[in-house]
Structure 1
């Protein structure tokens, strides 16, 4: 009795220690979860980093603008002081300034007719490649016309002004111009301007400073003038457009224009389902505004992964604490075999609950990463941001390309057959003779047929059928999510860039499955999201083409995220494993020497025969699983079979030892009770550990 009491006291002490340790572990896990960076903290850090980069960009922009402004004001000062009296001296000065300042596109001097006997007189230098051309201004700049605003605006204001940006046809780039009046001392009237000095500066440097901001994969910056003109943004097609007018067509601009009076704000684009945070601040010495756009989902992506892991840690700590409490209760109040069976049931139930919880996270956790380091895009601003990251020439033609899938079918574990439509917008080309400007480089076999032509929109559509081979990852089968992608190569020899035709879709929310047939059906899979992305691939050959254009450049992808149907594998694989494990436990329960406890007579040969039958059934199911998935490595579901193989072997060995005269106390004690007690905890504990290692 004393011995029993001593063992009981030890059991209580061990249970108390385990309760204390597991409780401390739970407290620590909860504390780490609570003290981890919240969404607000992560966003604030991203904002602070963006602010710092914006300030550096502002410094660069201001230096560029000030150099242009200082040059114009210096020339105006020299003209007003009489230092530049004659045209020869003036031409020499302007030519020298052009040669010394590569960012300056043009310098113009326009005299007022009042100081030149009623006649127009001007000098105009502009850059033409590596040369500088000289000529006079060929139109009446004193007229109140739009292209003469550079002359009239500073005269009306009486001081220097930044004129609205414009596209320089000769320069083939966007320009910004600063003009300032000058006064001639010999005219005797210091109150009336004698003319205007105008200096134009390429926006490429300013766009480069804004485009160089490190704002993640698709974050970008923009600059607006005081009149709302877009001076800089990733998409060149928006440049010099008015944000108020563009807001009628582009929802993002509508959100930005409505909140310009607010320093920082969060908005959600209902068409794409994406949220982003915007802040802006003024650029000194101008009425311009620098804005920053940060995509929230991309910024918080890493946080979501860490949150999932933190929740799993809390779950395990909570389960450990609960089991320790039950262990303490059993140690205090139950000292019979029934108490041990209660502990076995509780531990087994917690293991099953833990696996179910991890499975739930695996089935429902998703992110827009394409399974790789993809650059997910939802509008042309994000597309141009990605292309800018990889120094794609902004003058290269963009070919809008759309896709619509009708059917998708797995013809093998790593081969999928797709049918649908691809269309392209060939603006400025003869659509009647246009050939497909795309190909599928991963295709095993492809057929493409012209389906329709919209001459008014210069759009050609093709119907295609292709068989693609892709490396699907079945390591977590049947709880895996896969990404089926269509990779587009550009067939055009001139190196056009393929971009998504966003305008052709009613909605770009990934969950609404843009580009997929409404009645889309896949056997064993469920489509979850669709989206466009870019991925950079490199090749160690030029394929015999010296100017091969597909290496180390962003390539267009259309992605379909699919989730495995859990029910079919559960019925065909897991259910058989569960039944076999129960039958095996039933076999274990008949290993007894007490004839009163069972209607079946125990014999080692009978158990071995029964285990052999279960092993045969198990090996057939396992082979069927390997055939379906055709994986080179080990998939998650196979561990269930491996554990059952070990269980069958253990039960068989146990029956041999128990039925022999071998004196092994652990097996012979209490009619093989301890082996029976450990059966479910060992199997389910191993499965839980394997599940954790695979999904954590």
Structure 2
């Protein structure tokens, strides 16, 4: 066997092994992607996770409700057994029970009028840290009053019952009652009901547990009764109101109530007004007629997984490309092993690398502009989202909400980090005189701003202000020319009373971010394209109270209006990418004329000529590079700068190659076949480095 045949078989076997390995890895990566990273799989995993979390909360709620019913039933049994013989013993016993149960707001023991011959009751209720003892003064046996349902329902059903929740005016909180009848041996031989024991507990504890569910930034939980009474919901104004009536006013509630009426669970509901969709499912709470539901924001869930999906796709792509290259190597090593086969392999490898770069660029250009970024943007689309944010940031639910709208008429980049904006801001000034009203907002991040009153709508208590502001913001240009930025206006509340700024959603025709709410249709933004606009909150904290004693400066939800923009590629392609493409092609042409063969030396190859050409190309790159740095002033390396660095090295390599090739130094790698290997490797090396840099910069 000759050395050449042995070497050829080694290449064939090696290519075959690499081909099989890359094929198996591609199949495995593809299977892993379709098993774990498709949208359906991600949603299914999230649903199961949310379902498990909801089950834990459900068990806790059921346990707390069960403890209330057991407490009430226990008192009824103690009355029947004779352990609680008189009012004095009962009073001490109930006081001990209430001290050990912080969620119990009141306990009532109401006797039947037939037992004492008159109304007689013991009523214990909390007043702050104290427990007051005061009998009920109204006729609790009157079944025509709603306030007596706790007594009459238990008498009628002769068993323990949960009553509909209500707002306790005296307690200033939402309550729910569990009442059960009790029997006494001395009253008609214990055969008839002698009275009712009723315990009231707070719903706020249940709402807090629902709010603790980890369902993303704007996912939320809720509780409804079978009749449609809202027991727990992020919007406190809706509590104890009927969902079916509110559904006529609230699109989100309408979608949820439709699902309940159709007994559907685990279905995606789409809100046409906001352009968002949620996954809603329900579970029944044992021992009550309540339904616990959860709503998962589908877009938010998928956005959080987009990068992982793209990485998995790119992994499959790279393994597929590796398989195709090794397959080409296998065919070449079997059927042809000459100079043309080397050029073919170089073409295949370079083409795959360039295709890979194109795919990565495609992913980058199609990335969504709404995401939870390093600034912890929490995007909101309706009042449910807002109240969910407020609940998670421990904002006082009674704080006054100030609806605030914004309309941007112009945006201009005065420098790479300074933006001039003009437009209108309007606010609801309920309780104030429109003529004397001043803005309840300010732009804390502006270098300079002017705000002047523009219009007044006294019927709706709306005052609009025209503003001009210069904002300085730090943008990330590291992905230029495939960068996208988020321009924002941060609003601070100027009022002294406890209040929060909220978006005035009712003032917009559509809340879908793609509809560019609050943005002038004919907006001119040179070099950029608006993609989406949206309101968001960021939970900020400050290390000072700004001299205001009661100012909340930790976990403070602050309102932002965002304009997501992407760079228009036309200008960067002509001014930056096109010169690079031309130079890299010309440099290859310079390399091609490096030859010692007279019949090919039509251009009169000399190393001095090559150096001259390379110097000219280097000068072109330097000018283009300097122009880029002047246009995009930043402290970090820009993605496109790596292209220049690679070309600088390529120019140096081609120059050194021409010098060595023209000299009498014997280097087989350069001298073999008239500098063939350097020419063949030019594009694979350039394309391979560019692909690697693209991967490192984007993923």
Residue 468 of structure 2 is aligned to residue 469 of structure 1: no
Structure 2 regions of 5+ residues with no counterpart? none
Residue in 2 aligned with 1:361? 363
Q: CA deviation at 1:590?
A: 2.3
Whether contact under 8 Å (1:219, 1:295) holds in the other structure is: yes
Q: CA deviation at 1:94?
A: 5.4
Residue 503 of structure 2 is aligned to residue 500 of structure 1: yes
Q: CA deviation at 1:143?
A: 6.1
Query: Using a 3 Å threshold, how does the CA distance of structure 1 residues 16 and 531 change in structure 2: closer, same or farther?
Result: same
Residue 652 of structure 2 is aligned to residue 649 of structure 1: yes
One of 294, 304, 312 as aligned partner of 1:310? 312
Whether contact under 8 Å (2:487, 2:564) holds in the other structure is: yes
Q: CA deviation at 1:239?
A: 0.8
- Give distance in 1, aligned partners of 2:452 and 2:542: 29
Counterpart mapping for 1:314-329 below 5 A: 314-329=316-331
* 2:673 aligned counterpart, secondary structure: helix
How many residue pairs get aligned? The number is 695
Whether contact under 8 Å (2:76, 2:180) holds in the other structure is: yes
- Give distance in 2, aligned partners of 1:490 and 1:102: 36
Q: CA deviation at 1:515?
A: 2.4
Whether contact under 8 Å (2:37, 2:309) holds in the other structure is: no
Residue in 1 aligned with 2:202? 202
Whether contact under 8 Å (2:544, 2:553) holds in the other structure is: no
Mean Cα displacement is larger for which, 221-230 or 145-154?
145-154
Residue in 1 aligned with 2:301? 299
Mean Cα displacement is larger for which, 447-456 or 607-616?
447-456
- Give distance in 1, aligned partners of 2:686 and 2:331: 24
Residue in 1 aligned with 2:64? 64
- Give distance in 2, aligned partners of 1:159 and 1:259: 32
Residue 593 of structure 2 is aligned to residue 597 of structure 1: no
- Give distance in 1, aligned partners of 2:240 and 2:446: 42
* 1:671 aligned counterpart, secondary structure: coil
Counterpart mapping for 1:363-442 below 5 A: 363-366=365-368, 368-372=370-374, 373-442=376-445
Query: Using a 3 Å threshold, how does the CA distance of structure 1 residues 576 and 537 change in structure 2: closer, same or farther?
Result: same
* 1:294 aligned counterpart, secondary structure: strand
- Give distance in 2, aligned partners of 1:96 and 1:427: 47
RMSD, aligned α-carbons: 3.1
- Give distance in 1, aligned partners of 2:461 and 2:133: 41
* 1:358 aligned counterpart, secondary structure: helix
Counterpart mapping for 1:570-649 below 5 A: 570-649=573-652
Whether contact under 8 Å (1:370, 1:483) holds in the other structure is: no
- Give distance in 2, aligned partners of 1:265 and 1:620: 58
- Give distance in 2, aligned partners of 1:23 and 1:193: 79
Whether contact under 8 Å (2:493, 2:501) holds in the other structure is: yes
Whether contact under 8 Å (2:409, 2:423) holds in the other structure is: yes
- Give distance in 1, aligned partners of 2:230 and 2:247: 12
* 1:581 aligned counterpart, secondary structure: helix
Whether contact under 8 Å (1:371, 1:483) holds in the other structure is: no
Query: Using a 3 Å threshold, how does the CA distance of structure 1 residues 20 and 212 change in structure 2: closer, same or farther?
Result: closer
Residue in 2 aligned with 1:221? 221
Whether contact under 8 Å (2:36, 2:42) holds in the other structure is: no
* 1:632 aligned counterpart, secondary structure: coil
* 1:357 aligned counterpart, secondary structure: helix
Residue in 1 aligned with 2:130? 131
Whether contact under 8 Å (2:427, 2:464) holds in the other structure is: yes
Residue in 1 aligned with 2:559? 556
Whether contact under 8 Å (1:495, 1:549) holds in the other structure is: no
Q: TM-score, normalised by structure 2?
A: 0.90
Q: Give deviations 1:450-477, integer Å, cap 9, x for gaps.
A: 2233333333332222222222111111
Residue in 2 aligned with 1:340? 342
- Give distance in 1, aligned partners of 2:543 and 2:211: 30
- Give distance in 1, aligned partners of 2:145 and 2:411: 59
Residue in 1 aligned with 2:672? 669
Q: Give deviations 1:289-311, integer Å, cap 9, x for gaps.
A: 22222223333444432221121
Residue in 1 aligned with 2:238? 238
Whether contact under 8 Å (2:422, 2:467) holds in the other structure is: yes
Residue 484 of structure 2 is aligned to residue 484 of structure 1: no
Structure 1 regions of 5+ residues with no counterpart? none
- Give distance in 1, aligned partners of 2:431 and 2:67: 40
Q: Give deviations 1:306-332, integer Å, cap 9, x for gaps.
A: 221121122222222222233333334
Whether contact under 8 Å (2:8, 2:333) holds in the other structure is: yes
Q: Give deviations 1:578-603, integer Å, cap 9, x for gaps.
A: 11112222222222333432442222
Whether contact under 8 Å (1:405, 1:418) holds in the other structure is: yes
Q: CA deviation at 1:501?
A: 2.6
Residue in 2 aligned with 1:692? 695
Q: CA deviation at 1:664?
A: 2.7
- Give distance in 2, aligned partners of 1:217 and 1:256: 19
